[in-house]
């Protein structure tokens, strides 16, 4: 695997550490734990080039070679009672690749937007006393979608630890840059198989991944750029929707994607190839 060194801090404030020799997100959390003397399970998620809880800068499947990694760790836990007064709660869920599903987006005007104790970045620990630790994002989204309208339910949430004032990286790192990646390539992290060093994503790849990620949100209530990138890889050479469905079933069968979703993914990849959208 590529042996690259990245600078890192705890998002609520810490000295700068160095991490290297990781091949996936779970291993990265382990290296962050070693750097700061904390259990890896304390790391909820990471952002790139900003210590803020900014879901546009969330570390997903790729790290630019000069990106600065900020690790967000466990803060306070809270119990929240919610009435499912509408069919959709308005949550978009992602997961951290190491057993925690968390809130990536809250739709304006939704049930959850009217629940002030719930925030972006909160980890979903339990639903009505049932642990959600270890569940994938799509499983958590499905459980919430299947709750009957009119039902009260209880969420156990852990919010990321926050500082009143977060200093910029002490090493003169590249915090706050609008562009992820250095122009010299990215490290692609994979849940299965080793990390690979790649050139910056092509315009086609960026378009296609964004489109597929949007479809994941609209169909399943999740966002996952690594999953979207994997689907684009599987679909870019598929002859037709049936070939894409076969490829998805062989690699990602746990998701049980519906046929209409696969058809839309096929169309999105085709649009991206043609430069549409």
Pair 44, 122: CB distance under 8 Å: no
Distance CA 265, CA 260 (A): 9
Pair 18, 7: CB distance under 8 Å: yes
- The proportion of the chain whose per-residue pLDDT surpasses 90, expressed as a percent, equals 62
Final residue of a domain: which of 43, 73, 103?
Answer: 73
The pLDDT-based confidence of 53 (bands split at 50, 70, 90) is: very high
The pLDDT-based confidence of 167 (bands split at 50, 70, 90) is: very low
24-28, 46-50, 79-83: least confidently modelled range: 24-28
Distance CA 125, CA 118 (A): 13
Q: Are residues 153 and 223 in the same domain?
A: no
Pair 123, 158: CB distance under 8 Å: yes
The pLDDT-based confidence of 197 (bands split at 50, 70, 90) is: low
Average pLDDT over residues 230-237: 90
Whether residue 187 lies inside any domain: the answer is no
- Residue 256 pLDDT greater than 70, yes or no: yes
According to DSSP, the residues that pair with 81 across neighbouring strands are 154
Average pLDDT over residues 51-58: 92
Q: Are residues 214 and 267 in the same domain?
A: yes
Three-state SS at 8: strand
Of 239, 224, 225, which Cα lies nearest the Cα of 270? 239
Looking at residue 178, what is its pLDDT?
A: 35
- Residue whose tokens read 């070679």: 65
Distance CA 217, CA 214 (A): 5
Distance CA 244, CA 227 (A): 14
Distance of CA 24 to the CA centre of its chain: 13
34-38, 55-59, 200-204: least confidently modelled range: 200-204
- Residue 220 pLDDT greater than 80, yes or no: yes
DSSP 115: -
* Residue 222: other Cβ atoms inside 10 A: 24
Q: Are residues 63 and 129 in the same domain?
A: no
- Residue whose tokens read 């210590």: 51
Pair 153, 167: CB distance under 8 Å: no
Distance of CA 237 to the CA centre of its chain: 26
Average pLDDT over residues 194-209: 78
Q: Are residues 208 and 229 in the same domain?
A: yes
- Report how far apart the first and last C-alpha atoms of the chain are (Å, whole number): 35
Average pLDDT over residues 59-77: 90
Average pLDDT over residues 18-44: 94
Q: Are residues 211 and 268 in the same domain?
A: yes
Q: Are residues 93 and 156 in the same domain?
A: yes
Whether residue 173 lies inside any domain: the answer is no
According to DSSP, the residues that pair with 58 across neighbouring strands are 47
Whether residue 168 lies inside any domain: the answer is no
Q: Are residues 33 and 49 in the same domain?
A: yes
Q: Are residues 155 and 140 in the same domain?
A: yes
Which CATH number belongs to the domain containing residue 94 in this structure? 2.30.42.10
Whether residue 79 lies inside any domain: the answer is yes
Whether residue 61 lies inside any domain: the answer is yes
Whether residue 154 lies inside any domain: the answer is yes
The pLDDT-based confidence of 71 (bands split at 50, 70, 90) is: very high
Average pLDDT over residues 192-206: 73
Kindly report the average pLDDT of the chain as a whole number.
86
Tally of domains within the chain: 3
The pLDDT-based confidence of 127 (bands split at 50, 70, 90) is: very high
Q: Are residues 131 and 208 in the same domain?
A: no
The pLDDT-based confidence of 181 (bands split at 50, 70, 90) is: very low
Range of the domain at 210: 201-274
């Amino acid at each position: 695997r590529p042996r690259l060194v990245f600078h890192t801090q705890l998002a609520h404030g810490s000295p700068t550490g160095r991490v290297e020799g990781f091949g996936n997100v779970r291993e990265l959390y382990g290296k962050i734990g070693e750097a700061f003397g904390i259990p890896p399970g304390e790391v909820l998620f990471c952002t790139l080039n900003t210590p803020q809880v900014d879901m546009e800068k969330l570390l997903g499947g790729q790290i630019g070679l000069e990106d600065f990694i900020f690790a967000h760790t466990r803060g306070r836990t809270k119990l929240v009672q919610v009435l499912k007064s509408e069919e959709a709660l308005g949550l978009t869920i992602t997961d951290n690749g190491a057993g925690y599903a968390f809130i990536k987006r809250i739709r304006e005007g939704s049930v959850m937007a009217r629940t002030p104790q719930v925030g972006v970045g909160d980890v979903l620990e339990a639903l009505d006393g049932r642990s959600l630790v270890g569940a994938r994002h799509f499983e958590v989204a499905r459980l919430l979608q299947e709750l009957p309208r009119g039902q009260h339910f209880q969420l156990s949430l852990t919010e990321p630890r926050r500082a009143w004032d977060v200093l910029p990286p002490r090493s003169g790192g590249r915090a706050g840059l609008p562009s992820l990646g250095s122009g010299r390539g990215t490290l692609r992290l994979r849940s299965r198989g080793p990390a690979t060093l790649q050139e910056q994503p092509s315009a086609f790849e960026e378009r296609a991944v964004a489109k597929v990620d949007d479809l994941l949100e609209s169909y399943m209530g999740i966002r996952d750029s690594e999953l979207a990138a994997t689907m684009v890889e599987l679909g870019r050479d598929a002859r037709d929707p049936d070939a894409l469905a076969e490829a998805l079933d062989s690699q990602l069968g746990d998701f049980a994607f519906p046929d209409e979703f696969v058809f839309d993914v096929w169309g999105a990849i085709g649009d991206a190839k043609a430069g549409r959208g």
